[in-house]
Structure 1
Amino acid sequence: MIDRFLNFYSKYPWTALIIVMQWVATAFTLTYSVTDESKILLMTFSSTVLFAFFGFKIPKD
């Protein structure tokens, strides 16, 4: 199973990189933020799905 997962992201490295960077930024934001965490998590989840959807549609060179 992990082989298929790694093979999938080797085909789309930009999408995996964006998702990882976004969740790291979310972790820092949740750690140091004083605002409502549910809004931050909703925005992060929505934008992750959006980036993944459009990232897979970009043709490879």
Structure 2
Amino acid sequence: MATTRAFVRNSRLHVLGTNLLGSVLYSPVFGSPTRASDVSPPNVARFRFLDPRRA
């Protein structure tokens, strides 16, 4: 799937894996200050509702 974005998430909306285009699409989520730590997976819901840049 090199010509389309792809990502894997779980039921808690954690992004578990992406291909190259998926990582570009979700780069704001990966770089969000709402992440608990660099080890924890990025969370789409946390980004959507708590990221100060989205206000």
TM-score strictly above 0.5: no
Quick one: higher RCO (CA 8 Å, sep 6+), 1 or 2?
1
Q: Greater strand percent: which structure?
A: 2
Q: What's the TM-score once normalised by structure 2's chain length? A: 0.29
Q: What's the TM-score once normalised by structure 1's chain length? A: 0.28
Q: Greater helix percent: which structure?
A: 1
The structure that has the greater radius of gyration is 1
